Amino acid sequence: METTLRGVGVSHGVAIGEVRHMGTAVLEPPARQITADEAGREQGRARQAVSAVAADLIARGQLAGGEAQHVLEAQAMIAEDPELMADVDRRIAVGSTAERGVYDAFAAYRDLLAGAGEYMAGRVADLDDVRNRIVARLLGVPMPGVPDSDEPYVLIARDLAPADTALLDPALVLGFVTEEGGPTSHSAILARALGVPAIVALPGAGEIAEGTVIAVDGSTGDLFVEPSDEKRAELEAAAAERKAALAASSGPGATSDGHKVPLLANVGGPADVPAAVEAGAEGVGLFRTEFLFLDDSKKAPSEEKQVESYRKVLEAFPEGRVVVRVLDAGADKPLDFLTPADEPNPALGVRGLRSLLDHPDVLRTQLTALAKAAEGLPVYLEVMAPMVADRTDAKAFADACREAGLKAKFGAMVEIPSAALRARSILQEVEFLSLGTNDLAQYAFAADRQVGAVSRLQDPWQPALLDLIAMSAEAAKAEGKSCGVCGEAASDPLLACVLTGLGVTSLSMGAASIPYVRATLAKYTLAQCERAAAAARAADSAEEARVAAQAVLSGE
């Protein structure tokens, strides 16, 4: 009998197939005391296992490329964290086996993260995955993971670690559903990059029996258990219609009455550029530069290395707009040479622009490298600062850009509610705004984007978040300046129409979402988008906002 469940749709498309469940995670290893003579051998076993797991994560990342590579390289750094390894060695020295020492050391660090505020707590899933891989290797058992199957299936898991998500085979894994996670979790981001329909934050999905036929609609978040023939036909028809619309859509982003909305790509480095170009991106709306700095947490990359990497991206978009975000370190991206080690709540401490202003040499080197990388290229370079709180921050960043001789537009990211509330003041110092809706929602609702239990508050359809976006767009319009969105909100085609109606001037997203957004925008006039935006803001919940906007656009 057909039943319907609802989670959070995070990757477009429809998947219909039999359920296969993810293998169970590694359990707690047995406690066994070792003698002092055995300690050296056990410490060596632990180090070998850690090195092997780190190497495996890096290899998986290189195979996957793009966004997945950056995520997995960050996990490898977790595995080889020197403080964690020192704790493992101490535990083994007083009688623990290698596997028990690893398990207990990671458990202690896990407790620290869980108690360090919601933002850091969201990294617990990544930490658990690294621990499980090390313990499995030490126990000599295979790491539970994606099931073996000769036939295509829909994968259900409590959550998916980046190492598993990155290497999913779209020919076999038709789609996936997780009980935890959120719309901006690593699994969601990687699902969009793979083009696999996906739903997250669906409690109870794990209770669906192996082999049950389900239908997953990654656009709406609906999961249909044992769908009827009629429902299958309905979903397949809708999917075919979307596919036809995508094939017919090309060129610059615009509404049906010709209002231009440039569609840009979010990239994490040169490896992401080919997909962006293939999708028809009109430029880059968010060039994350952290990938260069995560290679070595002990010191910043040289100016020469930065110039080389930046130029590869700039060259790919002649006459296009490339918006570069300077280093956003801190919180979940700590760097030894930049990030304070003793902050009680790193998400609310010295991160983003605050870190760079405390280390002006790092900021100066990056800005100088960007200036040199753009020399002689017909690209429209724009540089923006993360975590801008007020006009003082904006002025400090603009002054640093001018001192570095940067011939580019200077901008500020709106990720902190204070920046949205005082956007017009900030625009006295900078030339554009870019809304990072992931962090803006996180700070507006005190809801970590990695924690499934608060995923409803991370929903970009929340009317309060739409209010903050509207305030920023209205301020930019009043000042005659631009205001784009580079958060995951832009990847939702329906929400892209609402954002356009709110006055947002450009949309930046993962490359895989660009065709969907382009095709949807082309169906509606600017006036329809404005009416849909007004209806969404008048709602009292994210779900009501979505329904209201859809009703306006469908003419109901």
Catalytically annotated residues: 186, 486
**DSSP characters for 387-422?**
S--SHHHHHHHHHHHHHTT--SEEEEEE-SHHHHHT
Q: Tokens standing for 127?
A: 């930490």
SS3 140: coil
Pairing of strands 14-21, 222-225: unpaired
Running DSSP on this structure, what letter comes out for residue 149?
Answer: -
DSSP notation for 453-470: GGGGGG-TT-HHHHHHHH
d(CA 162, CA 361): 33
Coil/strand/helix, residue 18: strand
Cβ atoms of 119 and 347 closer than 8 Å: yes
Q: Which two tokens stand for residue 191?
A: 């699902």
- Assign 3-class secondary structure to 492-551: CHHHHHHHHHHCCCEEEECHHHHHHHHHHHCCCCHHHHHHHHHHHHCCCCHHHHHHHHHH
DSSP 271: G
Residues 6+ apart with CB under 8 A from 201: 7, 8, 178, 179, 180, 181, 182, 183, 452, 455
Pairing of strands 3-6, 222-225: antiparallel
Radius of gyration of the chain (CA): 24
Q: 174, 94, 186, 104: which is closest to 138 by C-alpha?
A: 104
Cα four-point dihedral sign 485, 488, 491, 496: negative
Contact (CB, 8 A) for 75 and 179: no
Cα distance between residue 124 and residue 543, in whole Å: 28
Looking up tokens 């002006």 gives 360
The letter for the amino acid at 532 is A
Closest CA to 72 of 200, 201, 160: 160
Angle at 398 between CA 397 and CA 399, to 5 degrees: 90
85 C-beta neighbours (distance < 10 Å), count? 18
Amino acid letter, 437: T
- Left (φ > 0), alpha (ψ -120 to 50) or beta: where does 266 sit? beta
* Phi, psi dihedrals of residue 498, rounded to the nearest 5°: -65, -45
Report how far Cα 101 is from the mean position of its chain's Cα atoms: 32
Tokens 């003793």, located at residue: 342
